[in-house]
């Protein structure tokens, strides 16, 4: 008797793409606002971006129920941190917390593919990219989600510094100015919307810099 397979899964994939780019004194985090299931669209207007701390924002694609639970969990932990330390969590601290939180559920993971973006303690932009169980790395730019296979090679082509084996390792942050980085992100999502069926509708862009956090929107293809 061949083994029976479960015909119910606790997970679902709601699709969508996320991108983050770090600059010398800013960070751009962006995600589309389409939420799908299978070949259907659930809504065209769902935000995948969550502000975790003053200078720290997370964008997550994957199973949005898990994403929501993860965001609530991190928000509660941040409150406890504020009570104990009398200050906001820094982006690198939140990055470590996110990693630990994800690994805590190593054997029933959060189906959530995250990019964390913000300013570190010196005001420099930083981006951290994760897998579903918490493996993370500080990088200058990253993308996750259904469109990441289309977006990442493009970002590599535009932003990647030469291999550290050939030249001394360079700073992770991109040399681009803030406006150029935002333009790049808009291009990248227009690119992904063309070929990825799960990416489209609207683009939400969050920019963090010394002045604070601001939000921008841009329309994407609705098909």
Partner 1 sequence: MFRNQYDTDVTTWSPAGRLFQVEYAMEAVKQGSAAIGLRSKTHVVLGCVNKANSELSSHQKKIFKVDDHIGVAIAGLTADGRVLSRYMRNECINYSFTYESPLPVGRLVVQLADKAQVCTQRSWKRPYGVGLLVAGLDESGAHLYYNCPSGNYFEYQAFAIGSRSQAAKTYLERRFENFTDSSRDDLVKDAITAIRETLQGETLKSSICTIAVVGVGEPFHVLDQGTVQQIIDTFEIAAEQEDPATEPDAATGQEAATEQGTAADQGGSTDEGAAPMDI
Query: Which residues form the interface with partner 1 (CB under 8 A)?
Result: 72, 76, 79-80, 83
Report in angstroms how near the CB of residue 82 gets to partner 1 at its nearest.
9
C-alpha Rg value of the chain to the nearest Å:
17
Is the CB of residue 163 less than 8 Å from the CB of residue 197?
Answer: no
**In terms of CB distance, is 69 or 191 closer to partner 1?**
69
**In terms of CB distance, is 76 or 179 closer to partner 1?**
76
Largest pairwise CA distance in the chain: 65
DSSP type of residue 130: E
β partners of residue 115: 59, 129
Strands 112-119 and 125-130, sheet pairing? antiparallel
Report in angstroms how near the CB of residue 195 gets to partner 1 at its nearest.
38
**In terms of CB distance, is 46 or 198 closer to partner 1?**
46
Report in angstroms how near the CB of residue 70 gets to partner 1 at its nearest.
12
82-119 b/e (C-beta count within 10 Å ≥ 16 → b): eeeeeebbbbbbbbebbbeebeebeeebbbbbbbbbbb
**In terms of CB distance, is 9 or 86 closer to partner 1?**
86
Report in angstroms how near the CB of residue 75 gets to partner 1 at its nearest.
8
Report in angstroms how near the CB of residue 108 gets to partner 1 at its nearest.
19
**In terms of CB distance, is 75 or 177 closer to partner 1?**
75
């Amino acid at each position: 008797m061949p083994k029976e397979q479960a015909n119910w899964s606790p997970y679902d994939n709601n699709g969508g793409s996320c991108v983050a780019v770090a600059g010398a004194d800013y960070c751009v985090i962006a995600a589309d606002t389409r939420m799908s299931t299978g070949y259907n669209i659930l809504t065209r207007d769902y935000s995948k971006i969550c502000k975790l701390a003053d200078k720290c924002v997370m964008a997550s694609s994957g199973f949005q129920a898990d994403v929501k639970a993860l965001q609530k969990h991190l928000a509660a932990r941040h409150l406890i941190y504020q009570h104990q330390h009398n200050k906001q969590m820094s982006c690198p601290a939140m990055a470590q917390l996110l990693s630990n939180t994800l690994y805590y559920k190593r054997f029933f993971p959060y189906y959530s593919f995250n990019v964390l973006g913000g300013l570190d303690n010196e005001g420099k932009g930083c981006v951290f990219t994760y897998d579903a169980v918490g493996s993370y790395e500080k990088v200058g730019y990253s993308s996750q989600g259904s469109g990441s296979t289309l977006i990442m090679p493009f970002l590599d082509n535009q932003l990647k510094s030469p291999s550290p084996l050939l030249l001394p390792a360079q700073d992770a942050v991109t040399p681009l100015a803030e406006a150029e980085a935002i333009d790049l992100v808009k291009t990248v999502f227009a690119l992904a919307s063309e070929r990825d069926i799960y990416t489209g509708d609207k683009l939400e862009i969050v920019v963090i810099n010394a002045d604070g956090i601001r939000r921008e929107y841009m329309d994407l293809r609705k098909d």
